[in-house]
Amino acid sequence: MPRRRPGVLLPLEAGILDAGMRLQTTGGSFYGFGVARALADAAGDGSGSGDTGRTALTAHGTLYKALGRMADQGLLESSWEAPEIAEGEGRPRRRLYRVTAEGATVLAAHRAIEAERAALLPIAAKIKPVGA
């Protein structure tokens, strides 16, 4: 399988960075299930209601492999939540993530490429194949 060029994002990775940026503005760090809900909300009605019944959540293995890969690439930084917080809420500790400056830069470049691609699609649709 060919390797991707550095800085090229898969759709899931772009979605994670986008959701992570939104979640960071409201609550600082974010965690995996919070990203899964944000991705489902974005794919659903966009209300942000947290009602994920209509849209399937991203598979656990898929999401956490992507989060780990992105942390290894320097797009995200991660740390474990303080044990006291988890104990106080009676749940396991969460791995917390933040989008790094490099992650924000790569996401901005990805958005620019996608916007350029979207602008070219109508033009490409008008081109007739040779011999047609």
- Segment 2-49, tens digit of pLDDT: 577 766 899 999 999 999 999 999 888 999 999 999 999 888 744 444
Range of the domain at 55: 11-126
Supply the CATH number for residue 120's domain: 1.10.10.10
Has residue 109 been placed in a domain? yes
Overall domain count for the chain = 1
What b/e readout covers 49-74, taking b as 16+ CB neighbours within 10 angstroms? Answer: eeebeeeeebeeeebeebbeebbebe
Q: What percent of the chain has pLDDT over 70?
A: 86
Structural domain includes residue 23: yes
5 assigned to some structural domain: no
> Which pLDDT belongs to residue 63?
93
Q: Does some domain include residue 132? A: no
pLDDT for residue 56? 62
From 49-53, 73-77, 108-112, the region with the lowest mean pLDDT: 49-53
Q: Is residue 113 part of a domain?
A: yes
Residue 16 within a domain: yes
